Structure 1
Amino acid sequence: MRPLNVQKLKEKIVALSFDLSQLELKRDQVVARWPGLVASDKPRFFRDFNEVLDGIKQTQRRLHIAKRLLARAQGDEYELQLP
């Protein structure tokens, strides 16, 4: 197994954290559309909302993995802390 590059892992964590915040912002924008929707718009709303939620879940999973790898590279224990 090759050694883990701590700096690259830190950069990846920052990038994933930013991606996660952008996805959460997009989720809030999608939810803000709900009050004005008519019945014919609701299927598209749910499709958009589910896409955003899937993106958030995937990004959270990737962020968790990156944090575990960083902890391992630094010799620390990383507690599982998923929302």
Structure 2
Amino acid sequence: MRTKQQISITLPNEMAAQLKAKVASGEYASESEVIREGLRALLARDQAAEKWLQEQVVPSWNALENGESEGVSGKEIRARLIAEHKRATGTF
């Protein structure tokens, strides 16, 4: 049974040059290895986003919908961020 599949991709010139540079530097053994690493990073990012949504966003939304939590307006968030920035930078 075949465990790999050969595919062909088209990249913009700049990305193709970066791909070749990764191999030329010795950081990766082949162009395929660079692509595999990039895909693994993309999948890890997607999994992290999904985990954040399931573990933090959904419970927060449910609490808000069930009246267990109160929402904050955009104006209030902006005011809090400005105040925090002023405290952090020492500008008043």
Considering fraction of residues, name the structure with more helix. 1
Query: In which range does the TM-score fall when normalised by the shorter chain?
Result: 0.3 to 0.5
Larger radius of gyration: 2
Per the normalisation by structure 1, the TM-score is 0.39
Of structures 1 and 2, the one scoring higher in RCO (CA 8 A, sep 6+) is: 1
